[in-house]
Amino acid sequence: VNSLLLNLSTLNVRLSTAEEELSNLSLSYSSLVNKLLDLEENLSKHVCLYQDLLKNYTTLQQEHQQLLKNYTELLAENKHLEEELELKHNESEEYSKKLADQLSEIVYARSFKVYNYRQDLYKEIELKIAAQDYLSYRLNVTREHAVIEDRIEQLKAMFTVFITYDDKYIIQIAQELRELAGNNDELYANLVLQLVHQIKYMRTLYCKYPLETIVEGVGDCDNLAVLAASIMKAGGLDVVLILCKVSLDGVSFSAHAMVGLALDSEPKMPVSYGRTPQYVGYEGKFYYLCECTYSSNASPWDFKVRGSLVGDNPWKVINDIIILPT
C-alpha cells in the first residue's frame, strides 16, 4: 500500500509538471499563431505594395517608350529643320551678296553750298554716299516711332548714339568746312549752320542718324540738331545738345532741340547785325545757342535773319532747359 501511495504521489507530481509544460506550450503556440497572423498581414500588405509598384512600373515603362518615340521623331524633325535652315542660310548669304553687289552701284549724290563771309567766297560741299552706308543706319530696326516730345525723352538716355561725329562722311564735311574756315571756330560753326539750314524741316517719326538726314534731305529739330552737333564735334568744337520748351508768342510751348557751342569769346557776327548773342551756362562755360531749324523761304547766308548765326535766339521764350554733353 505504501509503495502504491508513493508511486501515486510521484505520478501526481509528474502530472502537475506535465500540465504546467502543456500550459507553457499552449502559450507558446498562441504566441506563434499571433506572429503567424502578423506575418500573413504584412505579407498581404507587401503583396499589395508590389502590385502597385508593378502597375506604376508598367505605366512608366509605357510612358518611357512613348517619350523615346517622341524624342526619335523630334530628333528627325530637328535634323530636317537644320538642313532647311542651312539651305536658307546659304540662300540668304547668296542673296545678301547679290544685293551688296547691286547696292555697290548705287550712290546718293548730295551737294551743299556754303559762304565764307570773311573771304566773300562760296564753296560747294559735294558728297557721294554709298547706299550700303546709308542703309546701315536706315535699317536699324531698334528705333520706335515717337512724337517729338517722346523723342526728347529718348535723347536724354541715348542721344550720344546718334552723334556720329566719327562717321566718314561727317568727317569729310568737317574737313572741307574746316579747310574753308581755318582756325576761326565761329566761322566754322556758321558754315555748319548754313549747311544744316539747307535741309528742309519736316516732322519725322523717330530720331535719325546724321547720314539719314543728309541723304533724305528732311528732318525736324532733333534730327537737325544731332546732325549739326556731329559736324561741329567732328571739327573739334565743344558742343552740347540743348533740350527745351520754346515759344514764339510766350503762350504756346513745344518741345525743341538745339545745339550749344562753347567759344573762346563772344560771337561777333550777331553783334554786327545788331543782335546780342544768347547762351546757356553749363559747368562754368557759356554755350551759345545754335538754332538748327530754318525757314525754307530764307537764304542760309542771309545773316539778317534771326537764327542764321551762332548766338541767335529766334524764340520769345525758352524754358525747361536740359543740357546733354557730347
Residue 285 CA, distance from chain mean position: 33
148-162 and 221-234 helices, crossing angle to 10°: 20
pLDDT in tens, 217-261: 999 999 999 999 999 999 999 999 999 999 999 999 999 999 999
Q: How confident is the model at residue 144 (pLDDT cuts 50, 70, 90)?
A: confident
Q: In 3-state terms, what secondary structure has residue 266?
A: coil
Residue that the C-alpha cell 552740347 belongs to? 240
Q: What average pLDDT does the chain have?
A: 90
Higher pLDDT residue, 104 or 124? 124
Cβ atoms 294, 218 nearer than 8 A: no
* 262: Cβ contacts below 8 Å, ≥ 6 apart: 237, 238, 239, 240, 285, 286, 287, 288
Q: In 3-state terms, what secondary structure has residue 285?
A: strand
Higher pLDDT residue, 294 or 92? 294
Is pTM beyond 0.75? Reply is: no
pLDDT at 26 over 80: yes
pLDDT in tens, 171-230: 999 999 999 999 999 999 999 999 999 999 998 888 899 999 999 999 999 999 999 999
